[in-house]
Amino acid sequence: MIQRTHPYGDILHEVVEHNGTLYLAGCVGEDSSADIAGQMQSIADQIDALLAAHGSSKERILSATIFMTDLSMKPALNAVYKRWLGQHLPARAGIGVADLGPGVLVEIMVIAAK
């Protein structure tokens, strides 16, 4: 069975669950005027909340796909990312993109075990 929760803007669900796996839609920072570290922390907080609401946690993240508008900001993003996840680093891909929307520097999608 596929369960879809947290509809957003009639175009997606923030979380889709299938066979004990959680697929999170791309998360962006709440404050698009924040720097990359601030946006990354906001995304981490959102992911933590979504996973907790679905009986999971950051320790159960299997993979992360990170979209960034400027790959030169990767060290600042990585500092927050490593502090957030600690020893529980998932498989990961970082992808440079031209645009994510006004002021948005990073968007992250994760897949996690329940």
Whether the predicted pLDDT of 105 surpasses 90: yes
Whether the predicted pLDDT of 112 surpasses 90: yes
Whether the predicted pLDDT of 44 surpasses 90: yes
> How far is Cα 87 from Cα 105, in angstroms, rounded to an integer?
25
> How far is Cα 97 from Cα 105, in angstroms, rounded to an integer?
10
pLDDT score for 8? 87
Topology of the domain covering 2-113: 60s Ribosomal Protein L30; Chain: A; (3.30.1330)
pLDDT band at 27 (very low <50, low <70, confident <90, very high): very high
> Tell me: the pLDDT tens digits for 56-93?
999 999 999 999 999 999 999 999 999 999 999 999 99
**Helix (H) and strand (E) counts for the chain?**
2, 7
Are the C-beta atoms of residues 27 and 47 closer than 8 Å to each other? yes
Sequence ranges of the domains in the chain: 2-113
pTM metric for this prediction: 0.94
